[in-house]
Structure 1
């Protein structure tokens, strides 16, 4: 090897690591702690990533994501978030109640941006909506507040319904009890008897629907929690198989064949999540970022499913719908 080539090679070897180190230093890392599956989590965060790109943070250039998905096994969350803390990620995204609890237990220094339908204050995620305090803040969507409205919608679609099953997964969060507390008076006012049915694993669904059928429930409400969102296809298919009219918490269920949905515009809500992530990466502290409450709601009715179930949606109800799927 010629001397000039050797010097060039050595020089290149010395310069390259420095450039790589500079590139590494410029890359920010977002840790994602999810209860759901990895594909579902990636799909949900797509609007947040687009907002981050608008703010100058592009995955593969100056931004990286470290995903930790528990596949609906809540007992895995502590170990998964522990790994993110050890890696010293710039910020942790926690898009559901149990991951928020696990993240807050794991770190008081790394910023946590959450996405939740539980009451952030009564659940202990923040001190108050306007002044979160600590290292966590995020996006709060309306679930508890609209649960009674979903029941009213279900009764409009199925006026004969006297018994309604409420399918939910088990949780110890205080705000989940608030949901039930607000649902019961609405059911009483409508003359509806509620049947509470739990499913916490995919294997539980067959038994849950068997219980609903055995109890001769006339219709079903599906709770808005991460586990139900992770199993949309199974829920919609089982409801169709057993011919149970059901109202779901988001458009995705109706698009998959569910009868109707009433709830948050999730792409817009996740876009707001991305905005908060960008602001934290820019140096703002969670304690100074009020919890953002998303109040935009969508009513979607799937007329193909309605016809299959013999459900007649009134012209008044169809006129109120944001979207009618034919």
Structure 2
């Protein structure tokens, strides 16, 4: 073979290779991953979703393509993001977080949707029933409403002298915030506690919350479950420590980042289940035939280092119930 012919052959093969790869990718199924938060705040849940997808036999870039849409805490962006995924004709929409699930549900009645939510899927209008979802939607649900109210009880048990407590909710996530507010206020009446409901839906508003707590003479804070607060666990933990306010949150990242307590569902469990269901639908199963999965694992994490800094002695009965103690 002549040298010029060899060079032309190699050059032609090199030029053709990206085209071949693109052709292969174009034939792969596409998952539209929609979330209300940011990827920086959700590394563990995202990893769990990909793990579940892998358990079902799918790996991003190998036999499936994932298109990510992160609202970065701006829930008003979700309807347009969901519509964009529908227009792109993705194979499945993985709508993780309650706001994302509601946006996806409103955007399409034909493309399969797999949700992850901390709310009641029936009450939210996502499915007709847990065992028989019907329609194009199914997914995984974790405990959020119940554990937020239980968080108030834990704070009361830990600091019985705290009679005025703040409850932080996100007004941009009413479907998740409102039921949690009802349950916490109901629990507060049981223990004769005064609860002040505080709203925050942006990073700037988070910074002002703790100053408001001081003005209200609140002795502790309960942070409700939700994608925005979960993705800002580190910031919330830093603020709670800086202002020396005992605080409990549903996300474990809050306690590991320095927050006093976290009590809630391990959402990595529900994200993994959502990943598995996404894979099963890619294989041809229908959402209507897949019962909604319930992630029931709940964990209590106590940061003893923070407790000592706040001058709080954690009773042995509470320590004994902890799934993890950070020292």
Cα contact 1:48–1:273 (8 A) shared by 2: yes
- TM-score (normalised: structure 1): 0.92
For 1:156 and 1:256, locate their aligned partners in 2 and report how far apart those are by CA, in whole Å.
Answer: 23
CA contact under 8 A between 2:97 and 2:115: conserved in structure 1? yes
Q: Is this contact kept in 1: 2:35–2:71, CA < 8 A?
A: yes
CA distance in 1 between partners of 2:311 and 2:257 (Å): 18
| Aligned-pair CA distance for 1:67 | 0.7
Aligned to 2:138: 137
What is the CA deviation profile of residues 253-294 of structure 1, one whole-angstrom value per residue up to 9, with x for unaligned ones? 100001011111222222111111111111111111111111
Give SS of 1:118's match. Answer: coil
Q: Deviations over 1:83-137 (max 9, x none)?
A: 2112211111111122112111211111111111121111111112122122111
Deviation at 1:151, TM superposition (A): 0.9
Provide the rounded CA distance (Å) in 2 between the counterparts of 1:177 and 1:244: 24
Give runs of aligned pairs for residues 93-108 of structure 1, distance below 5 A: 93-108=94-109
Report the counterpart of residue 313 of structure 1 in structure 2.
314
Q: Counterpart in 2 of 1:60?
A: 61
After superposition, give the CA deviation of every residue in 1:153-180 in whole Å (9 maximum; x if it has no partner). 1112111110110011004645643322
- 2:167 matched to which residue of 1? 166
Report what 1:49 is aligned to.
Answer: 50
How many correspondences in the alignment? 326
What is the match of residue 289 of structure 2? Answer: 288
Instruction: Give secondary structure in 2 for the equivalent of 1:203.
Output: helix
The answer to whether the 8 Å contact 1:38/1:67 transfers is: no
Q: CA deviation at 1:195?
A: 0.6
> How far apart, in 2, do the equivalents of 1:69 and 1:165 lie?
29
Q: CA deviation at 1:215?
A: 0.3
> 3-state DSSP class of the match of 1:300?
strand
Is the 8 Å Cα contact of residues 168 and 198 (structure 1) preserved in structure 2? yes
Length-normalised TM-score, structure 2: 0.91
Aligned counterpart, 1:185? 186
Output the CA distance in 2 between the equivalents of 1:192 and 1:324.
27
Residues 182-261 of structure 1 aligned to structure 2 (within 5 Å): 182-261=183-262
The answer to whether the Cα contact below 8 Å between 1:264 and 1:294 also exists between their aligned partners in 2 is yes
Provide closer, same or farther for how the CA distance between residues 178 and 51 of structure 1 changes in structure 2, counting only shifts above 3 A. Answer: closer
Distance 2:318 2:151 in 1: 13
Tell me whether 55-64 or 42-51 shows the greater mean CA deviation.
42-51
**Are the structure 2 counterparts of residues 222 and 28 from structure 1 closer, same or farther at C-alpha, using a change threshold of 3 Å?**
same
Residues 271-286 of structure 1 aligned to structure 2 (within 5 Å) = 271-286=272-287
Unaligned runs of 5+ in 1: none
Structure 1 residue 183, shift from structure 2 partner: 1.8
* 1:34/1:41 contact within 8 Å kept: no
Indicate conservation of the 8 Å contact 2:42/2:231, yes or no.
no
- Superposition pairs for residues 2-41 of structure 1, below 5 Å? 20=21, 23-24=24-25, 26-41=27-42
CA–CA separation in structure 1 for the residues paired with 2:257 and 2:13: 55
User: In the alignment, is residue 155 of structure 1 matched against residue 165 of structure 2?
Assistant: no
Match of 1:211, SS? helix
- Higher mean Cα deviation, 58-67 or 192-201? 58-67
Structure 1 counterpart of 2:302: 301
Q: Please identify, of 307-316 and 46-55, the stretch whose mean Cα deviation from structure 2 is larger.
A: 46-55
Aligned pairs for 1:117-132 within 5 A: 117-132=118-133
